[in-house]
């Protein structure tokens, strides 16, 4: 079983995305990776209780409020 994903880990990733937002390519890559990490934890049931799952998902979605350019190919 995979290691349980914690709110503090997600918060640390969000803080890093905020810190590097000037480098939009790196920030966007980190954002995508974080969203995938949270989805993976939900899918493999390592995200915890339903309340924690909701908190992780909502926290991860706050990256969409960080202003940087997002380009998709």
pLDDT tens profile 20-32: 999 999 999 999 9
pTM for this prediction = 0.90
For tokens 């914690």, what's the residue?
6
- Residue 11 reports pLDDT greater than 60: yes
pLDDT at 2 over 80: no
User: How far is CA 58 from its chain centroid?
Assistant: 9
Query: Is residue 58 a contact partner of residue 12, using CB atoms and an 8 Å limit?
Result: no
- Residue 2's nearest CA partner among 31, 58, 56, 40 is 40
pLDDT tens string 48-72: 899 999 999 999 999 999 999 998 7
Could you identify the residue written with the tokens 């997600």? 10
C-alpha distances out from residue 65 to 3, 60, 68, Å? 28, 10, 9
């Amino acid at each position: 079983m995979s290691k349980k994903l914690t709110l503090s880990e997600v918060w640390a990733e969000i803080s890093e995305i905020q810190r590097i937002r000037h480098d939009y390519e790196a920030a966007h890559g980190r954002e995508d990776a974080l969203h995938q990490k949270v989805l993976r934890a939900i899918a493999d049931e390592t995200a915890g209780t339903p309340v924690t799952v909701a908190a992780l998902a909502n926290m991860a979605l706050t990256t969409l409020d960080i202003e940087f350019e997002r380009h998709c190919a």
